[in-house]
Amino acid sequence: MKQKIINPSTDEVITELELAGKKEVESAISSARVAFDKGTWPAISLKERKNFLLKISQGILDKAGDLAKLESLNTGKPIKESTFMDIPSSAKTFEFFANNLEKYLGPDTLKLQDAHCQLLREPQGVVVLIVPWNYPLLIASWKLAAALACGNTVVLKPSSLTPLTALELAKIIQEADLPKGVVNIINGSGAGLGEALCSDKRVDMISFTGSNATGKQIIEYASKNVKKLIMELGGKSASLILKDADLELAVNGSLCSIFLNQGQMCTAMSRIFVKDDVYDKFINDFTEKVKRIKLGDSLGYETQMGPLISDEQRKRVLEYVEKAKHQGAKLLCGGKIPDDPRLKNGFFFEPTVFSEVSPEMGIFQEEIFGPVVCVNKFSTLDEVIALANMSDFALASSIWTRDDALAQDLAGKINAGIIWINTYGMFYNEVPYGGFKQSGFGKELGKDGFLEYTRLKNIIIDKTKDSKPLVNYWYGF
């Protein structure tokens, strides 16, 4: 069966690809299992493993221009974003884990009473990596670089909407001469392949990034055979703008925090709370700049915001907007499909700002995954902390203030896995990323994210006098 891959800027077919079925899933899992159990990959030296990852990193850089164009063509994200963010960051992730794997995987020996304990980090085994459509190459790189660096073999399933850069990555991996079966990439729908991939007892671990609903389904599938899980799920993140904030900085940062990648980010600051003293100034400046955001074809270098991923996604966003208007939220700008004839064929939607949004409204509580933001005012710190935490999600938050001590105090009271102070979206390979509550569990990136892809073995060596611990003679006197 073939699936058409669509350019969301034009609704034109880029290409048609065969969709994998259960036969291909069986082949991929079997190949990864054999490569782990009988192949050379888990046993090669760490230096060799490092060199393989560096080859992949360089391969991404060598094809950076083509990959950026392909990513924008397939996802609709502006070419500036894919060129300066997604592609180089993908290469950097492979480089980072390559250069740190020896340090992270080194054995640790503890001296205990009458014993020495050696802690060893070993690969989990066969790891299934399931990647979303909003950052196809970057999130694939986060997962794949760490999994391979730890010595695992993998089955990577990109979104069937945006598989093109993952398939190019497969070519780069092949050119790097990784052993056969170490990396297996299959293109297919989650509905068609999810249960077969996630319930198989030959799979030792699943790392998933995507929606909360799909995450719950994967947990159900995985429960049929116990295995390690990383669940990076949705968000409904809150941005807090205090009275003393640098408003120019806060306005510009807030624009990026919700309209980057058309708002199709799990960390999108879709709820902005502004101190009542500065609310009018903030909302006037913010909405004026929102109205000037340039929509356009994803391959245009002047484009600031591209289309949504699909017509289905646009309909979903529009339903949220109409419901919010019906419930009494005040629409300040946007909220509709643009009438520019140059955009008529793509899945474009105007950047949208609401005010006077109450906590019981859907746009306050539910992840829209589009360019829609609620901007509300607050009076006290206790009030804004309560509002920020009034969500089932707990992924990220931004705090804007010149008072560093206050920012640190607030960061400790906000229920979120990532807190940015006077900025948004700064991801570093050195530090972990992940949320709490319905935003999932487990980490990506950093040492903590790296070690998620390992299992910890404890080896205890007797060091009692004359090698005669009491337990060996408990029944022997």
The structure tokens listed for 250 are: 């806060």
Q: How far apart are CA 345 and CA 274, in angstroms?
A: 37
Cβ–Cβ < 8 Å for 290, 334: yes
Instruction: Give catalytic status of residue 333 as yes or no.
Output: no
Q: Which of 95, 232, 367, 452 is catalytic?
A: 232
Q: Which of 95, 195, 198, 266 is catalytic?
A: 266
Instruction: Give catalytic status of residue 81 as yes or no.
Output: no
- Pick from 152, 178, 184, 182: which is nearest to 48 by CA? 178
Burial 409-434 (b: 16+ CB within 10 A, else e): ebeeebbbbbbbebebbebebeebbb
Compute the half-sphere exposure of residue 303: CA atoms within 13 Å on the CB side of its CA. Answer: 26
Q: How far apart are the first and last CA of the chain?
A: 72
Tell me the catalytic residues: 232, 266
